[in-house]
Amino acid sequence: MKSDNRKPLIISNPLSIDAQVHSFESAATGLPALNFAIPHINIARLTARYISGGSALKQGREVSRKRLSIAQAGIQNGDTYAHTIATQIERFELALKLCAQKEMSVELLCDMHTLITPEDNSRGRIREHQNWVGADKIENATVVPPPPAELNKLISEWEAFVKHEDITKPANALLAFSYFIASHPFADGNGRLSRLLLTSFLSSKREFSSFLSPTLYRLNHFEQSREELFATPRALIGGSWNDVISYWERAFAWQNGISQVISERINSVWLALSSQLALYCQPVNAIALLKLLFDYPLVTLEMICKHLKLRVSDANELLTSFCDLGILKCLKLKQPAQMIVFSCEKVFELWAKIDDLLFDPASFTAERAIAEVGGHQAV
């Protein structure tokens, strides 16, 4: 729903992507460096619930981390919504891997769209009808993307740019992202796919599991992100990218700064828990389990046997030792009745603090990030 009196911004016959490369690169010379080094946790998986779409963000966050972890452990307890989000995260992560492993093409775009929009009847197909953003009716829309007749040309130009340019360069990645989201080539799910593309492009040739996507900046910078929604299509039409680049400068600085804070908190918990294992008689298995707990803080005996390739007796001994040390807590679920799981409360507490950082603008501001990392350039 529109919250102001702006007329719909209609995108038709935008400037070609090749014609904009020079002006975009010139405007993007001051982009801060990104951080690719968050340790111990698969931060891409942890935060995927916030960028993978498929459920309202506020409603989705009402599913606690523990509920979601039960679903991700494959436990069938009747919690349909938690299982839906778990599947959504799994599909998003699979699409990220596809994007990193295969050469970009329209076919790959459609395959990724199919993966991450299972609820869409037109998934995996470039739209043949006009769509719009921001309202139920086109006359009340905030943005009206290009008509279907222009899409083949726009997507072909976009595909050629992504294939032939160094898309790992932040300026090229942002330009490709901007053209994709403004084109809105699918009937639905364009936002989540654009966030996936930018995350993949920026983390290409690196391990994306340690990379916090700068698209998460929108979580606690709503007004700035809303303005960027208008700035990007205006730039495609008029060729002035200053407002768009200004937004991403702040998002990149925020990503770098908050990644450092998150890394410090993770390392603190890791050091505390690993210190408790110093005298354990099976250090290799113990460290392997601790690593697993930072990504899956709720586990079952079957999970331990599968992930660590242990016999049941050895896995039982390991879990008992972790419970004795206070690293794990043994719990019985109501559904399925009397099922036993093991929970690492310290990691759940860590995850809650990370979530608070991402959502609370008072916890970590863009201004603080710029002050801390503003002088560093992107590499």
The catalytic residue positions are 184
| ∠ Cα 255 256 261 (to 5°) | 95
Which tokens belong to 258?
A: 């908050």
Upstream peptide bond of 148 is cis (omega within 30 degrees of 0) = no
Distance, in Å, from the CA atom of 88 to the CA atom of 51, rounded to the nearest integer, reads 10
Q: Say whether 53 counts as a known binding-site residue.
A: no
H helix runs in 2-75, sequence order: 17-27, 43-47, 57-61, 65-72
**Helix H or strand E encompassing 91:** helix 80-101
Instruction: Give the largest CA-CA distance in the chain.
Output: 69
Torsion of CA 348, 192, 198, 229, to 10 degrees: -110
Q: Say whether 192 counts as a known binding-site residue.
A: yes
Q: Say whether 191 counts as a known binding-site residue.
A: yes
Which tokens belong to 375?
A: 């002088």
Q: Say whether 202 counts as a known binding-site residue.
A: no
Mutual angle of helices 170-183 and 190-203, in 10-degree steps: 170
Q: Say whether 321 counts as a known binding-site residue.
A: no
Amino acid, res. 291:
K
Q: Say whether 189 counts as a known binding-site residue.
A: yes
Q: Say whether 193 counts as a known binding-site residue.
A: yes
What proportions of the chain, in percent to the nearest 5, are helix, strand and coil? 60, 5, 35
Distance, in Å, from the CA atom of 157 to the CA atom of 164, rounded to the nearest integer, reads 11
CB distance 253 to 373 below 8 Å: yes
Task: Give the bridge partners for 370, in sequence order.
Answer: none
CB distance 72 to 292 below 8 Å: no
Distance, in Å, from the CA atom of 231 to the CA atom of 178, rounded to the nearest integer, reads 10
Q: Say whether 12 counts as a known binding-site residue.
A: no
Distance, in Å, from the CA atom of 101 to the CA atom of 162, rounded to the nearest integer, reads 14
DSSP track, 319-342: HHHHHHTTS-EEEE-TTTTT-EEE
What does the DSSP 8-state code read for residue 220?
G
Q: Which residues are annotated as a binding site?
A: 188-195
Binding residues for ATP: 188-195
